[in-house]
Amino acid sequence: MLKIAVLISGGGSNLKALIDAAADPDFPAEIACVGSDTDAPGLDHARSAGIPTFVVRPRDSATREEWGAVLAAAIQEHHVGTGPDRGLVVSAGLMRILPPGFVRTFSPHLINTHPALLPEYPGAHAVRDALAAGAARTGVTVHVIDEGVDTGPVLRQAAVDVLPGETEADLHERIKQLERPLLVETVRDIALGRLALPGAA
């Protein structure tokens, strides 16, 4: 059983999709903990499911690297990223760039979901940026996190057509409708060994 740690900053609808999937005894991964950089409303999904949660605020650390080290230690307390079974860290709406030391601790057992077809529209405002560019199509990417911003190897993508006059909120919600099952399937396939993480031993 793959142990996963999920990191969020917001409403946590992707986290909820993972929690619902993992409630099935046949799902090959278990959510060991959920962490955030803030009092994210989505932490309630974990609390309701009896999953341990923690908040590690950047402002309580002197540097980004120190914040990353505290966050890594909080995850490892739940036996993710330690021992021969390396587990998996899933950034599902964490709105912070993970510092290099954190990435090196878990790499390549560290994935992110991003609301665009990378390498298009990296960064914190992917849906807004796609609309501003007049894109006819955008989507979602699940990728391995490296030390860049949304630059790591792509694992899975799904595309969506942009509708005329669509708002950022409406487009983001339609992207998330594809994103939630894509993330669940990606985690399942990693857990089953059907999808290899580039560089994993």
Which residue numbers belong to the known binding site? 12-14, 64, 95-98, 112
CA distance 104 to 94: 18
User: Per rule CB under 6 A, is residue 192 in the interface with ligand GAR?
Assistant: no
Cβ proximity to ligand GAR: between 81 and 115 the closer is 115
Crossing angle for the helix pair 13-22 and 168-191, nearest 10 degrees? 30
114 among known catalytic residues: yes
CA distance 164 to 157: 22
Residue type, 46: A
Cβ proximity to ligand GAR: between 80 and 182 the closer is 182
Q: Edge-to-edge, what's the strand order for the sheet holding 137-144?
A: 53-55, 29-36, 2-8, 88-91, 110-114, 137-144, 154-161
Among 6, 22, 90, 126, interactor with ligand GAR by CB under 6 A? 126
Cβ proximity to ligand GAR: between 81 and 93 the closer is 93
Among 107, 113, 138, 186, interactor with ligand GAR by CB under 6 A? 113
User: Could you tell me how far CA 39 lies from the centroid of its own chain?
Assistant: 17
**Enzyme catalytic residues:** 114
Residues that bind ligand GAR (CB under 6 A): 8, 10-15, 42, 92-93, 95, 113-115, 124, 126, 176, 179
